[in-house]
Amino acid sequence: MFNEKKKLGKAFKEPVYTFRGFEALPEDMEHLEDRFYGFVFQDSDFSKWIEAVAYSLVNHPDEKLEEIADGAIDIVCAAQLENGYLDTYYIINGMDKSFSNLKDHHELYCFGHLAEGAVAYYQATGKDKLLKAAMRFADYIDSVFGPEKEKSKGYPGHEIAEMALVRLYEATGEERYLELGRFFINERGRQPYYWDCETEGKKQEGERYQYHQAHRPVREQDEAVGHAVRAMYLYSGMADVARLTGDGTLLDSCKRLWNSTVWEKMYITGGVGGTSIGEAFSFPFDLPNDLAYAETCASIGLIFFARRMLEMEADSQYADVMEQALYNTVLSGMALDGKSFFYVNPLEVLPEACHLDERKQHVKPVRQKWFGCACCPPNLARLVSSIPSYAYTETEDSLYMHLHMAGIITKEIDGRTAVFQVQSQFPWSGKVTVTYAGEGPVRMKLAVRIPGWCRNWNVQGSERYCCSEEKGYYVMEGSWQPGDQLDLDFIMEPRFYQADDRVRENIGKIAALKGPVVYCAEEADNGKELHLIRLNPKADIKESKAQIGGKYFPVLNIDGYRKVCSPDAGNLYHEYREDQEKETEVKLIPYYAWANRGENEMMVWMRQGIPK
């Protein structure tokens, strides 16, 4: 065991502690001084990791890694109780308390991640040991919770079990998992609140369960509220269940919550969660740039939600947001060298404020090596390593290209294998070449998203298909022959954007984007006191390249003005005098590449003004 741990330790660094729980088998329990290590949800670190490993093995087979993973699975499965229960927090501390604090403890959350990881590992390797463990745990949970009179009417405090159960259902065909997921969704927010019964009627004060999206039944919710990651996971589960059960009212609720999220509460970077208090959504249009929470995991959750909406309705608005979240907040969550991480992704940073102002304690001016609550790094790993499943989706007769990433896509249709080869430089250029590379012809539809940021686009080679535009997709239907080639060009120009006027923080400001990529100014390029700079919104945006962290990145060069300061010694306030500004070229880099050159100021939304 020790060797296993050591090996895992190398692969996994700090999270090795996760295995202390799994290794503390019941028979060893009396010997344990310090019984359980870490957060109540510590087990989930393993599950997120195994899920990322699974995706990675698909793309990059690696015997050594697989061996480590199998060893880890052995440890985890050995900890499972006879009845299928598998959360070491309660296995170690006493099963009598199990499922007694659904609101704050994370048993069902740990189960959810376990199921997600198990399915992924099974699908990647064909090995079902962990899958069976997850099913046994699911069966146990199913024996505890459900609509039957004798069963508990509880539901998770931190959602994920809902979508995990759907995934388990889709992998195994066991309908009861879908039913259990649906049960959790249906029970959520019903009165009297289950959690109040759990605490023997002692009610929680304040906003009743908004933090947990359990303030009212999900079909009556129309505003994205509370802890942003929880919200995204719930909405994803709701979309899954709506899709598989054809539940129209649930779908309507998903749409309302989608609209609330992206029309009223999303940063231009695809970040969600305007406040650090509860890592939560703030009220509509309250999107402070410097106080933002915009957790990496929340944007990952938004991508989960978007893909599930796409699976129900191929509408490009969902893919637009997916792309926006991916190339900005999600990638910003990790350093260019992949070795440090952001939990919080603000749109404006003054390092001094992060150090000196407790209100900005959650904002780090540089990425961190690891976190006590390390949700973001493994979440990033599992998203990035499974990105093909977001880039493309399929229906029976259609293949949807959402993100235009380079790769080879296959689709089984009418007993044949359609193969498309995609060449592209997304997100840096809008040129995409799609070549049909199947062995024989197939009749099917290829639907290519027309990005929301794209004003003009053209396609060559689609003449031979029956073409139409449907909800933001260019749909080509016909017989695809080996060698068929499409040359798509989604003209990608850098442009300035404004926020809705109700976003007070951004009044009088603009941000620069090229395609889906948000740009920002960094002190490293533009000096300190970025707030003194104004951009000329009518200026040509020039493009060039610059090295950041050893890699070349596109940069934007924009004519701007920097206020010339003339402080009055000893006077914090002075009579108005017309601003003196000097011309300056402002250099903007892709937002996600910021903070790779040490601690420095950063700003996405900048003051604008047309020169006199």
What residues act catalytically? 279, 375
Q: Which of residues 289-348 bind its own copies (CB under 8 A)?
A: 291, 317
Report whether 477 contacts 465 (CB < 8 A). Answer: yes
Q: How far is the CB of 491 from its own copies (least distance, A)?
A: 14
205 binds its own copies (CB under 8 A): no
Q: Strand, coil or helix: what is 96?
A: helix
Among 531, 540, 543, 551, binds its own copies (CB under 8 A): 531
Among 252, 357, 397, 470, binds its own copies (CB under 8 A): 357
Among 69, 266, 319, 403, binds its own copies (CB under 8 A): 266
Q: Which is nearer to its own copies, 267 or 426 (CB)?
A: 267
Sole window of 96-104, 277-285, 298-306, 581-589 interacting with its own copies (rule: CB under 8 A): 277-285
Least spacing, CB of residue 510 vs its own copies, in Å: 5
Region from 99-107, 180-188, 237-245, 531-539 binding its own copies, contact rule CB under 8 A: 531-539
From the list 95, 98, 135, the residue with the least C-alpha distance to 118 is 135
Question: For residue 125, which phi and psi values (nearest 5 degrees)?
Answer: -115, -15
3-state secondary structure at position 379: helix
612 binds its own copies (CB under 8 A): yes
Q: Enter the tokens of residue 163.
A: 């979508």
Alpha carbon distance 390, 563 (integer Å)? 44
Residue 461 zone, left/alpha/beta (φ > 0; ψ -120 to 50; rest): left
Annotate each residue in 538-577 with x if it binds its own copies (CB under 8 A) or - if it does not, as one string: -------------------------x-x-xx-xxxxxxxx
Segment interacting with its own copies (CB under 8 A) among 24-32, 228-236, 271-279, 431-439: 271-279
DSSP string, 589-603: EEGGGTTSSSS--EE
Q: Which of 44, 236, 275, 385 contacts its own copies by CB under 8 A?
A: 275
Q: How many residues does the chain have?
A: 612
Helix crossing, 376-385 with 296-312: angle to 10°? Answer: 40
**Residue type at position 151:** K
Among left, alpha and beta (phi > 0; psi -120 to 50; other), residue 146 is left
Kindly tell me which of 168 and 266 has the beta carbon lying closer to its own copies.
Answer: 266
State how far the Cα of 596 lies from the Cα of 524, in Å rounded to an integer: 10
User: What is the footprint of its own copies within residues 438-497 (CB under 8 A)?
Assistant: 495-497
Smallest distance, its own copies to C-beta of residue 391, A: 23
- C-alpha 406/C-alpha 394 separation (Å) is 17
CB nearer to its own copies: pick between 489 and 581: 581
Nearest distance from residue 28's CB to its own copies, in Å? 35
State both tokens at 134.
Answer: 């997850």
Size of the site for its own copies (CB under 8 A): 57
203, 359, 443, 551: residue in contact with its own copies (rule CB under 8 A): 359
Residue 370 as a binder of its own copies (CB under 8 A): the answer is: no
Q: Using CB under 8 A, which of 33, 96, 358, 396 touches its own copies?
A: 358
E strands within 344-426? Answer: 348-349, 392-394, 398-401, 407-413, 416-424
Q: Verify binding: residue 259, its own copies, rule CB under 8 A.
A: yes
- DSSP for 276-308, please give it: TTTTB--STT---SSS---BHHHHHHHHHHHHH
Query: Do residues 509 and 494 make contact, with C-beta atoms less than 8 angstroms apart?
Result: no
Nearer to its own copies, 16 or 532 (CB): 532
Helix (H) or strand (E) holding 107: helix 107-125
**Does the protein bind its own copies through residue 264 (CB under 8 A)?**
yes
Nearer to its own copies, 13 or 531 (CB): 531
Residue of 283, 417, 485, 585 interacting with its own copies (CB under 8 A) = 283
Least CB distance to its own copies at residue 497 (A): 5
Run of H or E residues at 28: none
Contact 334, 341 (CB under 8 A): yes
CB distance 172 to 120 below 8 Å: no
Residues numbered 492 to 521 that lie near its own copies (CB under 8 A) are: 495-504, 507-508, 510-511
C-beta closer to its own copies: residue 173 or 567: 567
Map residue 348 onto helix, strand or coil: strand
Residue from 1, 197, 356, 466 touching its own copies (CB under 8 A): that is 356
From the CB of 513, what's the least distance to its own copies, in Å? Answer: 9
**For residue 511, what are its two tokens?**
């941000």
Give the one residue of 82, 96, 463, 578 binding its own copies; rule: CB under 8 A: 578
Three-state secondary-structure class, residue 254: helix
Return the structure tokens found at 497: 């954007």
Contact positions vs its own copies (CB under 8 A): 259, 262-264, 266, 268, 275, 277-278, 282-283, 286, 291, 317, 350, 352-353, 356-359, 495-504, 507-508, 510-511, 529, 531-532, 537, 563, 565, 567-568, 570-578, 607-610, 612
